[in-house]
Structure 1
């Protein structure tokens, strides 16, 4: 698959495009068995946040991802064009996820965006924005039906 292009705004940081390319590759290979690859793209003092939690430090991030990937059957990201300004980047994506505890292992798709900051060729800040309801609550047996009904009714 051809990597998504990068749109650069302002003064380019020469390490950012290569770091973003590594980020895309890693997240399409990542699973509970290869979390030892995280130091290739993340700094020791990484700050990470998503709608489900936040951690500081590479060890804490590794533990967080170990929990997140524990019941994952497969996970693939379709990355769109990234926008880069200096050492910051935003990358929209669609996650294709199969999880043992979500929808009986059937694939779900969740749209989101990652905001990254790069320092010395490593990601030192990573924040993911996505609808946690779309990921979890809408896919739970009883609660999910109610939430989907409410969204349909309100929409």
Structure 2
């Protein structure tokens, strides 16, 4: 069951727009660390730059949190990031999970996102996806018939 801090954080992510980014960032400590498959930054300003770039590069990005749980100073979320591909407008989704560690003041001290860039992103790109699927088939353990 999520606590009040985590409920506020989930709400901020699910309502996130460029205009509401300051509301989300207010839930992070000034020196918070954020890490995902492409970024490893420290500080509220650097975290803000990541989200501003997301809004510049993705069409209509929207987070949907499936599960939120808290225990002590930690929270765990599973989520989907829905967006439309630039150019084609094709709907896409990235599925992932986050580990959150709160400061004694109740602000996010550390945010670590876990998601498989190969499966969730690269495999969905036309040429790279073809190569990724071929590699996956080659490396997969044969299944009994």
Instruction: Give the TM-score of the pair, scaled to structure 1.
Output: 0.77
Q: Contact 2:84/2:92 (CA < 8 Å) preserved in 1? A: yes
2:45 maps to 1:59? yes
Q: Contact 1:96/1:110 (CA < 8 Å) preserved in 2? A: yes
- Residue 86 of structure 1 and its aligned partner are, at CA, apart by 0.9
Cα distance, 1:149–1:108 mapped onto 2, change above 3 Å: farther
For residues 3-46 of structure 1, give each alpha carbon's deviation from its aligned partner in whole angstroms, at most 9, with x where no partner exists. Answer: xx43xxxxxxxxxx122112111112223343222332111111
* Aligned equivalents of 1:47, 1:20: Cα separation in 2: 17
2:3 maps to 1:30? no
Aligned counterpart, 2:96: 112
Q: Contact 1:32/1:70 (CA < 8 Å) preserved in 2? A: no
Q: Secondary structure at the match of 2:56?
A: coil
Give the CA RMSD over aligned residues. 2.0
User: Comparing both chains, which one has the higher relative contact order based on Cα–Cα distances under 8 Å and sequence gaps of 6 or more?
Assistant: 1
Q: Secondary structure at the match of 1:21?
A: helix
2:83 maps to 1:97? yes
Instruction: Give the TM-score of the pair, scaled to structure 2.
Output: 0.82
Judge which range, 129-138 or 43-52, deviates more. Answer: 129-138
Return 5+ residue gaps in structure 2 as ranges.
Answer: 141-145
* Aligned equivalents of 2:97, 2:123: Cα separation in 1: 19
Cα distance, 1:58–1:107 mapped onto 2, change above 3 Å: same
